[in-house]
């Protein structure tokens, strides 16, 4: 049997943000309704970065088993001229084990992560939210804003990055492309005081947003903490507000929740819900305009399955990609 091979450009051409949002939303819902197994994750630290393997299985018309091996080295571009994220997604038929496809993981990871932020914002942010602060203006910050615009009518964006030149480029290029007012800022705390939504997508290992920085009613998507040594939010911010995780088990090990548990300011039972429970209607989401809600987004394998399935099926339909028979 031939295996489909798709590079980064192929994935980018095939996976739209709207399709990915719909797929990720469905994946979360299926998990909450008990129609999908819990995804698995394995992380290994390395010098200046790390690796993780995520695996999940979903029935989406047909049964897919997807594994993703990712390397994440935040300083890669500066030191080696390489992307921060590198890896491969393996797509298999979950009914017979056939190897269906190998996909570059960069776009899959970036787009499905942005899609999860959009789904969470759809259910957890105030419907009239108009202003957002993006902390971290790399590829993930870009797709996060694009995805957010698919679910909320955003009128003003504050862009913050430790590298002010990157924030400025973000403002200039995306402001024109998306036709939205984007202002690069040096003082992100002043921006947060004016924002309805905050998205953090940095490689920070030290918390930089505290309870006092966030105004009532804010929705926070904490995206950057995808291993146990990363942290963007002070633990006290989680402890005093409503926390919703993509996966409670995973967030308790590698997410913002992990630090709140270690600091003793939260218990597992303090987590309000998983996002899928909100989507499935098993629990209400936002119940007041003033509550601060935090989405602990660690990135699950079910998101990878949903995104990879879209890419694979469209590639087959359009006869795209190279083919290789590993048995030869």
Burial of 46 (0-12, 13-18, 19+ CB in 10 A): exposed
Q: CA-to-CA distance for 86 and 215, rounded, in angstroms?
A: 36
Q: CA-to-CA distance for 26 and 64, rounded, in angstroms?
A: 14
Q: CA-to-CA distance for 47 and 45, rounded, in angstroms?
A: 7
Angle (CA) 247-288-256 rounded to 5° is 30
The beta strand positions in the chain, using DSSP E, are 3-6, 40-46, 49-60, 62-72, 85-93, 99-104, 131-135, 156-160, 181-184, 197-200, 219-222, 242-245, 273-274, 293-296, 322-324
Residue keyed to tokens 């694009």 = 146
Terminal-residue alpha carbon distance, the chain: 10
- What is the pairing mode between strands 99-104 and 3-6? parallel
Active-site choice (29, 54, 68, 230): 68
Structural tokens at position 311 = 């890419």
Q: Please, where are the H alpha helices in 230-300? A: 235-239, 248-254, 256-262, 275-279
68 catalytic residue (yes or no): yes
- What is the pairing mode between strands 293-296 and 242-245? parallel
CB 7 within 8 Å of CB 15: no
Instruction: Give how far Cα 75 sits from Cα of 49, 81, 138, 156, 195, Å.
Output: 8, 9, 12, 30, 29
Structural tokens at position 310 = 């879209």
Element (H, E) at 17: helix 17-32
Which are the catalytic amino acids?
68
């Amino acid at each position: 049997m031939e295996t489909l091979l798709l590079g980064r450009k192929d994935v980018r051409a095939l996976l739209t943000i709207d399709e990915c949002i719909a797929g990720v939303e469905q994946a979360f819902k299926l998990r909450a309704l008990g129609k999908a197994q819990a995804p698995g994750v394995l992380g290994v630290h390395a010098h200046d970065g790390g690796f993780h393997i995520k695996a999940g299985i979903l029935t989406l018309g047909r049964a897919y088993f997807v594994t993703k091996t990712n390397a994440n080295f935040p300083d890669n571009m500066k030191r080696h001229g390489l992307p921060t994220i590198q890896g491969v997604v393996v797509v298999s038929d979950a009914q017979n084990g056939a190897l269906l496809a190998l996909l570059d993981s960069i776009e899959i990871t970036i787009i499905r992560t942005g899609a999860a932020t959009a789904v969470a914002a759809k259910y957890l942010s105030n419907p009239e939210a108009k202003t957002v602060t993006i902390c971290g203006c790399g590829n993930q910050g870009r797709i996060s804003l694009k995805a957010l615009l698919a679910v909320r009518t955003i009128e003003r964006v504050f862009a913050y990055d430790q590298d002010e030149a990157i924030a400025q480029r973000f403002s200039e290029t995306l402001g024109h492309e998306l036709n939205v007012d984007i202002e690069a800022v040096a003082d992100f705390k002043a921006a947060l005081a004016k924002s309805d939504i905050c998205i953090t997508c940095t490689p920070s290992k030290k918390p930089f947003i505290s309870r006092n920085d966030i105004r009532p009613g804010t929705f926070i998507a904490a995206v950057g903490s995808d291993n146990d040594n990363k942290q963007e939010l002070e633990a006290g911010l989680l402890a005093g507000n409503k926390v919703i995780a993509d996966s409670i088990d995973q967030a308790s090990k590698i997410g913002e929740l992990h630090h709140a548990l270690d600091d003793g300011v939260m218990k597992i039972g303090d987590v309000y819900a998983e996002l899928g429970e909100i989507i499935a209607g098993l629990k209400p989401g936002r119940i007041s305009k003033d509550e601060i809600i935090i989405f602990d987004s660690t990135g699950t394998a079910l998101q990878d399955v949903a995104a990879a399935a879209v890419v694979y099926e469209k590639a087959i339909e359009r006869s795209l990609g190279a083919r290789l028979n590993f048995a030869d």
